[in-house]
Amino acid sequence: MKQTLSDLAIFGGNPAFAQPLYVGRPNIGDRQKLLERINNMLDRRWFSNNGPYVQEFEQAIAAYLGVKHCIAICNATVALEIAIRALGMTGEVIVPSFTFIATPHSLQWQQITPVFCDVDPKTHCLDPRKVESLITPKTSGIIGVHIWGTPCAIEELTEICQRRNLRLLFDAAHAFGCSFGETMIGNFGDAEVFSFHATKFINSFEGGAIVTNNDELAKKIRLMTNFGFAGYDEVIYIGTNGKMSEASAAMGLTSLESMDEIIAANHRNYQTYQTHLKDLPGLQLFQYPEQHRQNYQYIVLQLNAQLAGLHRDELQRLLWAEQITARRYFYPGCHRMEPYRSYFPHAYLLLPETETLVQQTLLLPNGTTLSQSDVETICQLINFIFANAADISTRLQREAHD
């Protein structure tokens, strides 16, 4: 427990934690079950090319989501690229800038121009009210991103795409296990893409999946994922190598079996953070909408420096010194990264909500590796920092100029 400013690690005190606490620390699940699967894989000597674990993983995901088709992919970025190409997107596609860089890169990689649209400050997702004005004769589609697992404005975006004859793809990298009302994410748009990267609450070491209820689209995606092979020595379509390995699928299956336990831990931590951080000036904890199922993976702070007396980046520095590796998401915004910064130097003028979010958001650790005591210690530390925000900020700035 910190008593004075000198107790803070950044000012010479002992860190609150002996080992770093990370945002996105991998959940492992039942280690013994995973090792059994790996040993079975080694005994079979079937490591790739649509092995039994990949097939089982796809079937399990499709059944859980209630979708017709799931195609497991080596990672979510390749999954986005394949889905974009399979949907025939060309020219321009409207996307948020408040997302991981893989979303626009998946377009630009295929010489499709990402057109950045602002987000709703409440949901942090694409604002459908601002989408329509960005549609041009070159627009072929919209990619919505379910940030933090919170559903996009699905109905509004669907209506726009149907009326304007556009393709609709959802980047659901954050949203496995989440729903829109009673319907699971995965059932919307032309297709949706999930990530099972190591940092996701359900992981396959490295991996992703495309899900769809469109039979023809699923057939095309399967061809594209395996070089266009329709049978032995028969290539009928252009494709790439997007296949998931058996080892990844083994981890994915093991992860799925522990999903309820992982979500329960995330939810417990979320509630503890909510309880202890709710009254701090200038600090908001992102509220998950109660009408949807959530995976509670992300603990998202939004800090107003004027009200808090402390800037988000100062809070991050303080927490890192205490071995709490809080992360800025999605700083500084895709529109301020290359090549988009050079292509669209004035994009920020159309993205005021995005500009605010990238300067204010900070994510805290979560997951099964954190105990209740860990979360309470983090909260006590943040409360101490806020109680002394003015003095801490002044000292940080003075030391920066010394």
203 and 281 in a single domain? The answer is no
Tokens of 113: 């121009």
Determine, yes or no, domain membership for 159.
yes
Count CB neighbours of 306 within 10 A: 8
Among 222, 240, 257, which residue terminates a domain?
A: 257
- How confident is the model over 328-362, as pLDDT tens digits? 999 999 999 999 999 999 999 999 999 999 999 99
> 171, 195 in Cβ contact below 8 A?
no
175 and 188 both lie in a single domain = yes
- Per-residue confidence (pLDDT) for residue 109, from 0 to 100: 98
- In a domain, residue 337? The reply is no
How many domains in the chain? 2
pLDDT recorded at residue 401: 75
- Residues 139 and 102 reside in one and the same domain: yes
Q: Is the dihedral of CA 123, 292, 189, 259 positive or negative?
A: positive
Domain assignment present for residue 302? The answer is yes
Nearest-angstrom CA–CA distance, 46 and 80: 26
Confidence of residue 127 (pLDDT cuts 50, 70, 90): very high
Residue 335 lies in a domain: no
Instruction: Choose among 299, 304, 311, 280: nearest CA to 382.
Output: 280
Does residue 167 form part of some domain? yes
**pLDDT, tens only, 174-185:** 999 999 999 999
The string of pLDDT tens digits covering residues 304-319 is 999 999 999 999 999 9
Residue 183 shares a structural domain with residue 290: no
pLDDT in tens, 130-182: 999 999 999 999 999 999 999 999 999 999 999 999 999 999 999 999 999 99
The residue among 394 and 82 whose pLDDT is bigger is 82
Q: 265: domain CATH number?
A: 3.90.1150.10
The predicted structure's pLDDT at residue 16? 97
Q: What is the pLDDT averaged over residues 288-299?
A: 95
Work out the pLDDT band at 399, boundaries 50, 70, 90.
confident
**CA 204, CA 250: separation in Å to the nearest integer?**
7
Task: State residue 101's pLDDT score.
Answer: 98
Question: Residue 223 has what pLDDT?
Answer: 97
362-389 per-position pLDDT tens digit: 999 999 999 999 999 999 999 999 999 9
**Within this chain, do residues 138 and 285 fall inside the same structural domain, yes or no?**
no
pLDDT the model gives residue 54: 98
pLDDT of the residue at 311 = 96
Position 198, amino acid: A
At which of 225, 240, 257 does a domain end? 257
Judgement on whether residues 190 and 282 belong to the same structural domain of the protein: no
Residues 171 and 312 in one domain: no
Per DSSP, the three-state class of 67 is: coil
Which residue segment(s) compose the domain that 315 sits in?
A: 5-26+258-326+365-401
Each residue of 70-91: pLDDT tens digit? Answer: 999 999 999 999 999 999 999 9
pLDDT at 39: 98
pLDDT reported for residue 271: 97
267 and 159 in a single domain? The answer is no
* Tens digits of residue pLDDT in 13-50: 999 999 999 999 999 999 999 999 999 999 999 999 99
Q: What is the pLDDT of residue 114?
A: 98
Q: CA–CA separation, 102 vs 181, rounded Å?
A: 27
Average pLDDT over residues 274-290: 95
If you search the block for the tokens 């280690």, which residue do you land on?
A: 31
What residue type is 73 in one-letter code?
I
Residue 203: pLDDT above 80? yes
Backbone angles phi, psi at 334, to 5 degrees: -60, -35
pLDDT, mean of residues 101-111:
98
Tens-place pLDDT, residues 208-259: 999 999 999 999 999 999 999 999 999 999 999 999 999 999 999 999 999 9
Averaged pLDDT of the chain: 97
For tokens 């609450």, the residue is 201
Is residue 178 assigned to a domain? yes
CATH number at residue 202: 3.40.640.10
**Based on the domain organization, do 213 and 287 belong to the same domain?**
no
Quick check: 402 pLDDT over 80?
A: no
Which helix or strand (DSSP H or E) is residue 79 part of? helix 76-86
pLDDT for 398 equals: 86
Instruction: Please state, in angstroms and as integers, the Cα–Cα distance from residue 261 to each residue in 28, 64, 141, 299, following that order.
Output: 11, 16, 37, 17
Q: In terms of domains, do 58 and 127 share one?
A: yes
pLDDT band at 400 (very low <50, low <70, confident <90, very high): confident
End-of-domain residue from the set 214, 239, 257: 257
Looking at the predicted structure, is the pLDDT value of residue 397 above 90? Answer: no
Which candidate, 380, 392, 391, places its Cα nearest to that of 277? 380
- Say if residue 48 is in the same domain as residue 180: yes
User: CB under 8 Å, gap of 24 or more: what pairs does 389-398 form?
Assistant: 389/308, 389/309, 389/310, 390/309, 391/5, 392/5, 392/8, 392/310, 392/314, 392/318, 393/309, 393/310, 393/311, 393/314, 395/5, 395/11, 396/10, 396/314, 396/317
Same domain for 12 and 55, yes or no, is no
Please, what is the end-to-end C-alpha distance for the chain in angstroms? 28
Residue 351 lies in a domain: no
Instruction: From 240, 94, 62, 70, select the one nearest 167 (Cα to Cα).
Output: 94
Close Cβ partners of 374 (under 8 Å, ≥ 6 residues apart): 17, 21, 365
Specify if 350 maps to a domain. no
Angstrom distance (rounded) from CA 33 to CA 41 = 12
